[in-house]
Chains A and B, each alone.
Chain A
Amino acid sequence: MTYLYYPGCSLKGTGKAYDESLLAVMKKLGVEQQEIDDWNCCGATAYMAVDQDRAYALASRNLALAEAQGRPNGKPVEVLTPCNACYLVLLKAQKRLEEDALGKRKLAGALESAGLNYEGKVSVRHPLDIFVNELGLDALKEKTVNPLNGLKVACYYGCQIVRPYSTFDDQYDPVAMDQVLEAMGAETLKWPLKTRCCGGSMTGTIPEVGMRLSFIILKEAKKRGADVIATACPLCQFNLECYQNEMREEFGEAVDIPVVYFSQLMGKAMGLSDRELGMQRLFVPFAVPAASK
Chain B
Amino acid sequence: MSNNGNGRTNGSPRIGVYICHCGINIAAKVDVERVTRFAETLPGVVVSKEYKFMCSDPGQELIQKDIREHDLNRIVVASCSPLMHEETFRKATANAGLNPFYFQMANIREHVSWVTKDKDLGTEKAKALVAGAVRRVSLHQALEKKRVDVHPDVLIVGGGIAGIHAALTIANSGRKVLLVEREPTIGGHMAMFDKTFPTLDCAACILTPKMSQVKDHPNITLWSYSEVTKVDGFAGNFTIQVTRKPRYVNEDECVGCMLCIDSCVYKQARVDDEFNQGLSKRKPIYIPFPQATPPVVVIDPETCMQLSKGKCKQLCAEACEKHAIDFNQKEEVIEVQAGAIILATGFKTFNPMRIPEYGYGRYLNVYTSLEVERLVNASGPTGGEVVLRDGSKPKSIAIIHCVGSRDHKTNKYCSRVCCMYSLKLAHLMKERSNAEVYNFYIDMRTPGKGYEEFYDKLLEEGTHFIRGRVAEVTDWALTDAEEGKMIVRVEDTLVGMPRRIPVDMVILSVGLEAQPDADDVRRLFGVSCSKQGWFTERHPKLAPVSTATDGVFLAGACQGPKDIPDTVAQAGAAAAEALAMIDKGFVELEPNTAFIDEEVCSGCKSCIPMCPYTAIKRDDEKKVAVINEALCKGCGTCVATCPSGAAQQNLFLDEQIYEEIEGVLNYV
Residues of A within 8 A of B (CB): 170-173, 191-193, 216, 220
Contact = CB atoms under 8 A, between A and B. Distances in A.
B357 interface: yes
Interface string B337-361: 0000000000000000000110000
Interface stretch (B18-26, B197-205, B471-479, B652-660): B471-479
A216 B476 contact: yes
Contacts of B476: 191-193, 216, 220
A220 B362 CA distance: 18
Interface in B420-466: none
Contacts of B478: 216
Question: Which residue, B357, B474, B475, B476, has most C-beta atoms of chain A within 10 A?
Answer: B476
Nearest to A220: B476
Nearest to B487: A192
A173 B475 contact: no
A35 B357 CA distance: 38
A193 B475 CA distance: 10
Interface in B489-541: none
Contacts of A220: 476
B356 A173 contact: yes
Given A172-B357, A173-B356, A192-B474, 6 more contacts: A170-B356, A172-B356, A173-B362, A192-B472, A192-B476, A216-B478
A193 B478 CA distance: 13
A191 B475 CA distance: 8
Contacts of B357: 172
Contacts of A172: 356-357
12 contacts: A170-B356, A171-B356, A172-B357, A173-B356, A173-B362, A192-B472, A192-B475, A192-B476, A193-B476, A216-B476, A216-B478, A220-B476
Nearest to B359: A192
Contacts of A191: 476
Contacts of A216: 476, 478
A193 B476 CA distance: 8
For this complex, into which size category does the number of interface residues on chain B fall? under 10
A193 B487 CA distance: 13
A192 B477 CA distance: 11
Nearest to A215: B478
A178 B37 CA distance: 77
B127 to A, nearest CB: 35
Contacts of B474: 192
Contacts of B472: 192
Nearest to A191: B476
Nearest to A217: B476
A98 to B, nearest CB: 21
Interface string B363-388: 00000000000000000000000000
A172 B358 CA distance: 10
Contacts of A171: 356
A223 B212 CA distance: 58
A276 to B, nearest CB: 35
B293 to A, nearest CB: 42
Nearest to B476: A220
B488 to A, nearest CB: 13
A170 B357 CA distance: 12
Chain A to chain B: the 8 pairs with minimum beta-carbon distance, closest first: A172-B356, A192-B474, A220-B476, A192-B476, A193-B476, A172-B357, A173-B356, A192-B475
A251 B130 CA distance: 79
A220 B482 CA distance: 13
A171 B356 CA distance: 9
B476 to A, nearest CB: 5
Contacts of A170: 356
Contacts of B356: 170-173
Contacts of A192: 472, 474-476
A50 B3 CA distance: 77
A192 to B, nearest CB: 5
A220 B477 CA distance: 8
A172 B474 CA distance: 12
Nearest to A221: B476
A81 to B, nearest CB: 25
Contacts of A173: 356, 362
A172 B472 CA distance: 11
B360 to A, nearest CB: 12
B437 to A, nearest CB: 24
A72 to B, nearest CB: 42
B364 to A, nearest CB: 13
Contacts of A193: 476
B198 to A, nearest CB: 36
B24 to A, nearest CB: 35
A53 B534 CA distance: 43
B438 to A, nearest CB: 20
Nearest to B356: A172
B407 to A, nearest CB: 15
Interface string B40-83: 00000000000000000000000000000000000000000000
A31 to B, nearest CB: 31
B500 to A, nearest CB: 11
B17 to A, nearest CB: 44
A171 B357 CA distance: 10
A274 B437 CA distance: 54
A115 to B, nearest CB: 42
B595 to A, nearest CB: 53
Nearest to B473: A192
Interface string B91-131: 00000000000000000000000000000000000000000
Question: Which residue, A172, A191, A192, A216, has most C-beta atoms of chain B within 10 A?
Answer: A192
A250 to B, nearest CB: 15
B101 to A, nearest CB: 50
A35 B541 CA distance: 65
Nearest to B355: A172
A229 to B, nearest CB: 14
A278 to B, nearest CB: 30
B410 to A, nearest CB: 14
B365 to A, nearest CB: 15
A173 B472 CA distance: 13
Contacts of B362: 173
A217 B628 CA distance: 77
A173 B356 CA distance: 8
A173 B363 CA distance: 14
Interface in B197-250: none
Interface string B280-316: 0000000000000000000000000000000000000
Nearest to A192: B474
A193 B362 CA distance: 14
Nearest to A224: B476
A191 B356 CA distance: 13
A19 B472 CA distance: 35
B30 to A, nearest CB: 32
Nearest to B363: A192
A11 B299 CA distance: 63
A269 B333 CA distance: 64
Contacts of B475: 192
A171 B472 CA distance: 14
B168 to A, nearest CB: 47
A171 B355 CA distance: 11
B63 to A, nearest CB: 50
A183 B357 CA distance: 27
B474 to A, nearest CB: 5
A216 B357 CA distance: 18
A238 B356 CA distance: 29
A173 B362 CA distance: 11
A191 B474 CA distance: 9
Nearest to A170: B356
A154 to B, nearest CB: 12
A251 to B, nearest CB: 11
A193 B489 CA distance: 13
B15 to A, nearest CB: 48
A220 B474 CA distance: 12
A192 B487 CA distance: 11
Nearest to B357: A172
Interface in B572-603: none
